[in-house]
Chain A
C-alpha cells in the first residue's frame, strides 16, 4: 500500500465517519449538534494530548480521569467558598511550589553558567521568588472567593506538581508507569472525596448560589458572550462588524463556538509544537523508542519523563476546571473512566503503545472519530449499553487498520494466489 494512502487513511476515516453521520442522522450537521460534539470531545481531547506525549515515551497515565475529578472539585470549592477550605490548603501551596519549580527550571536554562554553584543559587532565588509571588497573589483572594482567572491558573499549576510526583516515582524509583499512575488515580479520587466532604455539604459542589447565579466569568469558559464582546470593542471598529457581533451572523457563529473546544485546539497546537519543533519532543520519541540508546546519547531521561507526566497532570487539571465550568459543578466522580477514552483516542490515532511512534494530528483524528461515533449513535437513539459495545468493536477495527494488519493479509492472499497459478503452469 503506498505510503501516501496509508498516511491519509486516518483523515479518510474521519471523513467517512462524518459522511456516515450526515446520512444516518438528519440532525447531525446542525450547528448546535456540531457545537455539542466539539464541547463533548474537548475534555477527552485535552486529556488525550497529554496522554499522547506520555504514550510516546512508552509510558501510560491512568490517573488523568480521577485527576480531572479532583480538579473539578477544587475549582468549584475555590470559586464558591469565601473562606479557607481544604481546597485552598491543597491548591495554593501546590501551585506555589509548581510555579517555583518552573521558574527555577527557566532560570537554570537561561542563566546556565559554567559554575554549578552559582546556577544553583540563581535557581533557588527564582524558586523562592515565584513561589512567594503566587502565594501573595492567591492568599488574599481566599476571603472573597477566587476569580475564574486565578482558578484557571492555580489549579493546573497544582496538577503540574501532582503529575510530577508520578513522574519522579516512575523515573527515579524505577517503578512501572502503569502501577504508579494507578496508585495516583486511587489517591487522587480519595483526596477529592476527602476535600469535597470536608466542607460538610456533601460531595457535590454546585456553582449556583441561592439566587441561582453562578460566579462571574464562569460562563466565559463555556461560550463566548458576543454581546459583551461587542460592548468592549474599540470605537474605530467597522460598523458592520460590531453589528454582526451584536446581533448578526458573527454572533450566532460565536455562540455555537464552545470555549472548551478552543482550549482543546490550543493544547493540541502546543502539543504539535512540542513534538515537531522542540528538542524536548525529539527526546520523547527517542526515549520511547529505545531508552538505553537515549541515555547513551546524552538525554536526561529522568528529567524528560518527570516533565511529561507533569504536563499530563497539568492538562488533566485544566480539563477539570473546564468541566467544572461546563457542568456548573465540581465533584470527585467527574471524569471517571475518562483515562480509558483518552487512551483509546490516542491509539486510534496511530500512536503506538510500545512507544517511539505517534503524532498529534492522529490524536485529533482519534478524538473526533470517537466523539462523532458516540454522537451519531445517540442521535440514532442507540442505547448507551449498545453504544459502549459498538465503541469497543470500533477501537479494535481502527487499530487493526492502523497496524497494517489488513493490508498484510491482503498482500499475503495475493501472493498465495500467484503461486498457485505458477504451480499449475508447466515448467
Chain B
C-alpha cells in the first residue's frame, strides 16, 4: 500500500558493512509536507538509512520508491537530480573555496560563454544567506570559519537545490539557539510548501518542537513510528535504548572545587585575527581551580573556540597573554608544549582536527599518549591495546573491534573516540569544545558522569558548549563570551538561561 502523498519510501532496507549489519529490514517513508524525525542511539543506523535514501550507498537490499516507483540511485548526484537534498552529519565543504562556490559546487551559474558567472553566483548566495540569517560573506573562504557557520552554509547549499525531500542529519549539533531558531522557522516554511523533511537529532526538545512523526531505530532495526502529538519523552527513550529511562539519570552528587588554582589566564589575545574570523579574541582572563568545571558560553563566532585553541598553543606565536599553571608561568607555543604541561583539547570538528579518518580506532586513540607508550622509540603494542580497550569499555564505544577504521564509525561513536583519546593521556587540564556534539541521550549522561568523576579527581575542566542546559547542569561557573571578549562571569547559583543569553547578545 502506498500513500499517494508519500514522496520517498524505503521498504525492507538491509545494509551490511564488513562485520556490521547497519540496517536490518527497515521501512520508512516521508510524505509531502511533513517533518519526520528519526531518532536512536549512536550507531543505530540513522545516518546509514539517510545515505541509502540519498544515493550515497547504492548497494543495499530492499526497495526504494520515489512517488511509488522503484528507483535505485547510482550516486548522490542522481538522488539530487530526483529532488533529494541532504545535509550530512559531517561537514562536506571544500575548505579552499568560498562560501558561494561551495553552495553552487557542481552547479555553478555560467555566462553565455560557459564561464562561471561569479557575480550572479555571489548575488544568489548573498540572497540565500540573508534568508537564512547567515553572517557570512559569499566570497569568504570557508576553511577558517567556525564550525557553526560552516554548518549554516551547508544547510544553505541543501536549500538552494529546491529539493522535494530535504534530509537534515543532526544539523543543529554545532548550532547555538539563535541559528537553531532560524532553521526551525525555515523548516516550517518549507513544510507549508509541501517539502518532505527528514530530521535527525539527539536533542529531544527539538524533535518535539519541530516534527510531525517520529521513527525510532535501535541496533539497525525499526522499533516504531509514532505521531509526535502522541509521543512521550520517556517512552521514546525507552524505545531507543530498550531499557527504562531511570537507570541513567542517577543524580550525581555535586562536586565542589578546591581553592587551589590550577590554570590562570590573563589577557589572552590573538595578535592578528585568525584568517576568516571576523571577531578577534582580546584580553580574556579567567582562573580555573582544581576540580572545577568552567563553562564557556556565547554565540557562534564569539571566540569560545579561539580561547581554547589559543590556550592549547594551536596559534603558535600569535597568541599573547600570560598563562600560569599551578602558579608557575608557562610558555605554550605549540600543542606539544601544551600536552607536556598536561593539557588536552577535544576539538570541535571531528573530521578536520579530531581524527585521522584512515587510521584505526586504536591508532587514533593512542596518538597523544604514544610518548608514554614507547620505549626506545618502539610502541609497546600490548600496553597500547590495554589502554585502548580500557577506554572502549569506559566510554561504552560501539565498534566491531579496536582495529575498525574510525571513518566507518557512526558520528557519535567518533566523538567518543576523541574523548577517549584525550582522557587516555590523563590530563590535568581538560579543554573541551562542544564535547557532546552528536552524542545520544544515554551516552551524554555517561559523559556528564565522567566529567564529574574527573572533577572529583581534581582535574581542571574548561568546556565550551552551545547547549546552555548542559552548561547550567555541569559547570561551577560560566564565562560568557561576546565578540571576542569575556562579557560576564556567573557562578552556577545565580546563572540562568536568560541572564546568559542577555550577556551574550551583541551590543548588550
Chain A residues near B (Cβ < 8 Å): 2-3, 109, 277-280, 282-283, 285-286, 289-290, 292-300, 352, 356-357, 411-412, 415-416, 419, 422-423
Question: Which residues of chain B are near A292, meaning CB under 8 Å?
Answer: 352-353
Contact B370 A282, beta carbon cutoff 8 Å: yes
Contact A279 B371, beta carbon cutoff 8 Å: yes
Contact B336 A300, beta carbon cutoff 8 Å: yes
1/0 contact trace for B354-372 toward A, CB 8 Å? 1111110001000110110
Contact B72 A297, beta carbon cutoff 8 Å: no
Task: Report the minimal beta-carbon distance from A109 to chain B, rounded to whole angstroms.
Answer: 8
State the main secondary structure of chain B at its contact with A: mixed
1/0 contact trace for B333-360 toward A, CB 8 Å? 0111011100001010000111111110
Q: In the complex, which residue of chain B has the Cβ closest to the Cβ of A277?
A: B378
1/0 contact trace for B192-221 toward A, CB 8 Å? 000000000000000000000000000000
Given contacts A278-B379, A282-B379, A415-B58, contact A297 B368 (CB under 8 A): yes
Q: Does B18 contact A (CB under 8 A)?
A: yes
Question: Which residues of chain B are near A297, meaning CB under 8 Å?
Answer: 335, 339, 367-368, 421
Q: 23 pairs across A/B with beta carbons < 8 Å?
A: A277-B378, A278-B379, A279-B371, A279-B374, A285-B363, A289-B356, A289-B357, A292-B353, A293-B354, A293-B355, A294-B356, A294-B367, A295-B335, A298-B368, A300-B336, A356-B358, A411-B59, A412-B59, A415-B58, A415-B59, A415-B60, A416-B72, A419-B63
Given contacts A277-B378, A282-B379, contact A296 B314 (CB under 8 A): yes
Q: Does B74 contact A (CB under 8 A)?
A: yes
- Picked from B72, B334, B352, the residue with its CB within 8 Å of the CB of A415 is B72
Query: Among the interface residues A283, A296, A357, which one has the most CB atoms of the partner chain B within 10 A?
Result: A296
Question: Which residues of chain B are near A422, meaning CB under 8 Å?
Answer: 63, 70
Q: In the complex, which residue of chain B has the Cβ closest to the Cβ of A287?
A: B356
Q: Does B129 contact A (CB under 8 A)?
A: no
Task: Report the minimal beta-carbon distance from B129 to chain A, rounded to whole angstroms.
Answer: 27
Query: Among the interface residues A285, A289, A293, A412, which one has the most CB atoms of the partner chain B within 10 A?
Result: A293
Considering the complex of A and B, which 9 residue pairs feature the smallest CB-CB distances, nearest first?
A289-B356, A298-B339, A356-B358, A297-B367, A289-B358, A290-B356, A279-B374, A298-B336, A292-B353
Bound together, the chains give a CA A352 to CA B359 distance in angstroms of: 13
Contact A412 B74, beta carbon cutoff 8 Å: yes
Question: Which residues of chain B are near A299, meaning CB under 8 Å?
Answer: 336, 367
Bound together, the chains give a CA A171 to CA B72 distance in angstroms of: 47
Question: Which residues of chain A are near B222, meaning CB under 8 Å?
Answer: none
Given contacts A297-B335, A300-B336, contact A419 B359 (CB under 8 A): no
Q: A292-B352, A298-B371 are in contact. List 20 more A-B contacts (CB 8 A).
A: A278-B377, A285-B358, A285-B359, A286-B356, A286-B359, A286-B367, A289-B357, A289-B359, A290-B356, A293-B356, A296-B312, A297-B368, A297-B421, A298-B340, A356-B356, A356-B358, A357-B358, A412-B74, A415-B58, A423-B70
Question: Which residues of chain A are near B60, meaning CB under 8 Å?
Answer: 415
Question: Which residues of chain A are near B334, meaning CB under 8 Å?
Answer: 295
Bound together, the chains give a CA A423 to CA B347 distance in angstroms of: 48
Bound together, the chains give a CA A415 to CA B60 distance in angstroms of: 8
Given contacts A3-B18, A415-B72, contact A282 B363 (CB under 8 A): yes
Question: Which residues of chain B are near A357, meaning CB under 8 Å?
Answer: 358
- Picked from A277, A298, A415, the residue with its CB within 8 Å of the CB of B335 is A298
Question: Which residues of chain A are near B339, meaning CB under 8 Å?
Answer: 297-298
Contact B378 A278, beta carbon cutoff 8 Å: yes
Bound together, the chains give a CA A299 to CA B339 distance in angstroms of: 10
Bound together, the chains give a CA A419 to CA B368 distance in angstroms of: 48
Contact A290 B72, beta carbon cutoff 8 Å: no
Question: Which residues of chain A are near B377, meaning CB under 8 Å?
Answer: 109, 278-280
Chain B residues near A (Cβ < 8 Å): 18, 58-60, 63, 70, 72, 74, 312, 314, 334-336, 338-340, 345, 347, 352-359, 363, 367-368, 370-371, 374, 377-379, 421
- Picked from B58, B340, B358, B370, the residue with its CB within 8 Å of the CB of A279 is B370
Question: Which residues of chain B are near A293, meaning CB under 8 Å?
Answer: 352-356, 367
Q: In the complex, which residue of chain A has the Cβ closest to the Cβ of B345?
A: A296
Question: Which residues of chain A are near B421, meaning CB under 8 Å?
Answer: 297
Question: Which residues of chain B are near A278, meaning CB under 8 Å?
Answer: 377-379
Question: Which residues of chain A are near B353, meaning CB under 8 Å?
Answer: 290, 292-293, 296
Task: Report the minimal beta-carbon distance from A116 to chain B, rounded to whole angstroms.
Answer: 11
Task: Report the minimal beta-carbon distance from A28 to chain B, rounded to whole angstroms.
Answer: 38
Question: Which residues of chain A are near B59, meaning CB under 8 Å?
Answer: 411-412, 415
Task: Report the minimal beta-carbon distance from A36 to chain B, rounded to whole angstroms.
Answer: 37
Task: Report the minimal beta-carbon distance from B144 to chain A, rounded to whole angstroms.
Answer: 12
Question: Which residues of chain B are near A412, meaning CB under 8 Å?
Answer: 58-59, 74
Task: Report the minimal beta-carbon distance from A358 to chain B, rounded to whole angstroms.
Answer: 10
Bound together, the chains give a CA A282 to CA B373 distance in angstroms of: 12
Bound together, the chains give a CA A277 to CA B314 distance in angstroms of: 29
Bound together, the chains give a CA A199 to CA B67 distance in angstroms of: 82
Task: Report the minimal beta-carbon distance from A295 to chain B, rounded to whole angstroms.
Answer: 6
Bound together, the chains give a CA A25 to CA B18 distance in angstroms of: 41
Task: Report the minimal beta-carbon distance from B414 to chain A, rounded to whole angstroms.
Answer: 12
Question: Which residues of chain A are near B58, meaning CB under 8 Å?
Answer: 412, 415
Contact B379 A279, beta carbon cutoff 8 Å: yes
Bound together, the chains give a CA A285 to CA B70 distance in angstroms of: 43
Task: Report the minimal beta-carbon distance from A31 to chain B, rounded to whole angstroms.
Answer: 38
Bound together, the chains give a CA A283 to CA B370 distance in angstroms of: 9
Task: Report the minimal beta-carbon distance from A108 to chain B, rounded to whole angstroms.
Answer: 13
Bound together, the chains give a CA A297 to CA B338 distance in angstroms of: 10
Question: Which residues of chain B are near A280, meaning CB under 8 Å?
Answer: 377
- Picked from A277, A289, A296, the residue with its CB within 8 Å of the CB of B379 is A277
Question: Which residues of chain A are near B345, meaning CB under 8 Å?
Answer: 296
Q: In the complex, which residue of chain B has the Cβ closest to the Cβ of A109?
A: B377
Bound together, the chains give a CA A85 to CA B367 distance in angstroms of: 48
Q: In the complex, which residue of chain A has the Cβ closest to the Cβ of B75?
A: A412
Task: Report the minimal beta-carbon distance from B108 to chain A, rounded to whole angstroms.
Answer: 25
Bound together, the chains give a CA A298 to CA B337 distance in angstroms of: 8
Bound together, the chains give a CA A411 to CA B378 distance in angstroms of: 41
Bound together, the chains give a CA A259 to CA B372 distance in angstroms of: 40
Query: Among the interface residues B334, B335, B345, B356, which one has the most CB atoms of the partner chain A within 10 A?
Result: B356
Question: Which residues of chain B are near A295, meaning CB under 8 Å?
Answer: 314, 334-335
Task: Report the minimal beta-carbon distance from B9 to chain A, rounded to whole angstroms.
Answer: 13
Question: Which residues of chain A are near B374, meaning CB under 8 Å?
Answer: 279
Query: Among the interface residues A277, A283, A356, which one has the most CB atoms of the partner chain B within 10 A?
Result: A277
Question: Which residues of chain A are near B357, meaning CB under 8 Å?
Answer: 289-290
Contact B355 A290, beta carbon cutoff 8 Å: yes
Bound together, the chains give a CA A32 to CA B356 distance in angstroms of: 46
Question: Which residues of chain A are near B352, meaning CB under 8 Å?
Answer: 290, 292-293
Question: Which residues of chain B are near A109, meaning CB under 8 Å?
Answer: 377
Bound together, the chains give a CA A401 to CA B98 distance in angstroms of: 35
Question: Which residues of chain A are near B363, meaning CB under 8 Å?
Answer: 282, 285-286
Task: Report the minimal beta-carbon distance from B298 to chain A, rounded to whole angstroms.
Answer: 22
Q: In the complex, which residue of chain A has the Cβ closest to the Cβ of B374?
A: A279
Task: Report the minimal beta-carbon distance from A117 to chain B, rounded to whole angstroms.
Answer: 14
Question: Which residues of chain B are near A352, meaning CB under 8 Å?
Answer: 358
Task: Report the minimal beta-carbon distance from A169 to chain B, rounded to whole angstroms.
Answer: 19
Question: Which residues of chain A are near B347, meaning CB under 8 Å?
Answer: 296
Q: In the complex, which residue of chain A has the Cβ closest to the Cβ of B353?
A: A292
Task: Report the minimal beta-carbon distance from B433 to chain A, rounded to whole angstroms.
Answer: 11
Bound together, the chains give a CA A411 to CA B370 distance in angstroms of: 40
Query: Among the interface residues B58, B336, B368, B374, which one has the most CB atoms of the partner chain A within 10 A?
Result: B336
Contact B378 A285, beta carbon cutoff 8 Å: no
Bound together, the chains give a CA A415 to CA B75 distance in angstroms of: 13
Question: Which residues of chain A are near B63, meaning CB under 8 Å?
Answer: 419, 422
